[in-house]
Structure 1
Amino acid sequence: MTSLFPAPHLDVRERRHGHFFWQSVRKSIYLHIESPRMFDADRWNYRMINTRDEIERRLSAVEGLPISAVHHAAGTLTMQFGSLRPVANFKGAIRHVGEWSLHVQCNWKIEQAGSAIATQDDLFGPDEKAHRSAQRIDDLLVKQGPAIVKGVSGSEEGGADILLSGGLRLVISPNSAPDEEDWRFFDPTSDTKHFIIEGGKVDPWSLS
């Protein structure tokens, strides 16, 4: 029977090669256990993920739902979809969240009749300016509607196009900067992993 370990009759160079091989295997296993996102298999998984299909599959959950709230956190656009419900945060404070949440940190724009009526730049600058811009978007998509999601589509570059009622649509365009989060989609009432686009790609960790 063939042994998997270096035999004593092998010369020094062959034994040394075998030693380094098993040392590498042990290190890879250790990295996978201690920090799954450092394991090389995650990089390989990028090639196996159909980014567009995965985006469309995830975002299809909001089709037919209304946009129920629009806010901002610094320069991040946040949207709630579906019925709002109260939840307590870790400090015990009550906040209202939808059935699904979308947080966008990369480039985005809201279009109506083919013209941009709001962009990511509206949330940059003084807090008062950002707050007024978020309130204006909330008025447009929630108070005057609400806008209903009519359809969704994704792109291989990690982008998303959310078609809304009233001739509106939200276009998300990742910056594709390595290791930088573009946007995330999740159930705010659940502890399940968030679906994350990072560097224009699906973060494999969010699928594991």
Structure 2
Amino acid sequence: MDFSIAYKELVKIIGLPLIDTGRVCDLIWFGFGRRIKVKDNRRGSYREVAEYALHVQCPWRLMDISKIIVGSYDKYIPNSKIEYSDEFDWDIEGANLCDEILKKLFELHPSKLVVKSVKLDQFGELEISFSDNYVLDIMPDTSTDDEVWRIFQNGVEKKHLVATGIRISLE
């Protein structure tokens, strides 16, 4: 893919705030922009979502200038209120360290982190820089055509920018 096409899609989030994150199993999403209402095709009802969504299914980390704040592996670690045991279920919302840290991050930054820049390399590694010196790194880790991340505008019938282990394309 021509990188100028990929950048044309990615720069749309520059200047937008990170307004939420969420998780379904090992897929985490980051929501940017304003909240909009979209129709849920399965239920027929409306729900509020971020204007832009970044879905990630590969290693990622959120850092500031001195440390890693939270990373994808943290979902396998119990939150600070739970002692580890063989029965620990990381997939229960709020039970893991990742969910706990991301919740605290939004409490610490009620004015939201604003996207300042984006970088993309030929391997699909994506770096999103925010206000307050935060950086989100997304690091594909497969040599296959499996999807590792995608970014798209909610509520609009447009192609998504999709990265796999071997390509970046509009789908």
Calculate the TM-score normalised by the size of structure 1: 0.67
Displacement of 1:54 in angstroms is: 3.8
Equivalent residue in structure 2 for 1:109, among 44, 48, 61: 61
Using CA pairs under 8 Å that are at least 6 residues apart, name the structure with larger relative contact order, 1 or 2: 2
Displacement of 1:99 in angstroms is: 1.6
**% identical aligned pairs:** 24
1:174/1:200 contact within 8 Å kept: no
Map 1:63-74 → 2, pairs under 5 A: 63-74=14-25
- Residue type at the aligned position of 1:62: I
Count of residue correspondences:
156
Q: Cα–Cα, structure 1 residues 143 and 73, in superposed 2: closer, same or farther, change >3 Å? A: farther
* Structure 2 portions without partners, runs of 5+: 77-88
Cα RMSD (Å): 2.1
1:82/1:100 contact within 8 Å kept: yes
Displacement of 1:173 in angstroms is: 0.7
- Name 1:148's counterpart in structure 2: 114
Q: Deviations over 1:24-61 (max 9, x none)?
A: xxxxxxxxxxxxxxxxxxxxxxxxx234x443322100
* Structure 1 portions without partners, runs of 5+: 1-48
User: SS of the counterpart of 2:21?
Assistant: strand
Q: Cα–Cα, structure 1 residues 122 and 94, in superposed 2: closer, same or farther, change >3 Å? A: farther
- Name 2:163's counterpart in structure 1: 197
- Name 1:61's counterpart in structure 2: 12
2:145/2:167 contact within 8 Å kept: no
* C-alpha distance in 2 between matches for 1:169 and 1:63: 13
Equivalent residue in structure 1 for 2:154, among 153, 172, 188: 188
* C-alpha distance in 2 between matches for 1:63 and 1:154: 14
- Name 1:7's counterpart in structure 2: none
* C-alpha distance in 2 between matches for 1:142 and 1:197: 31
Displacement of 1:154 in angstroms is: 0.7
Q: Deviations over 1:117-137 (max 9, x none)?
A: 111112345223665523531
- Between structure 1 and structure 2, the one with the greater Rg is 1
Higher strand fraction (1 or 2): 2
- Name 2:144's counterpart in structure 1: 178
User: SS of the counterpart of 1:58?
Assistant: helix
- Name 1:32's counterpart in structure 2: none
Q: Cα–Cα, structure 1 residues 118 and 163, in superposed 2: closer, same or farther, change >3 Å? A: same
Displacement of 1:72 in angstroms is: 0.8
- Name 2:101's counterpart in structure 1: 136
* C-alpha distance in 2 between matches for 1:85 and 1:149: 19
Aligned structure 1 segments of 4 or more residues deviating by more than 6 angstroms: none
1:72/1:130 contact within 8 Å kept: no
Higher helix fraction (1 or 2): 1
User: SS of the counterpart of 1:137?
Assistant: helix
- Name 1:159's counterpart in structure 2: 125
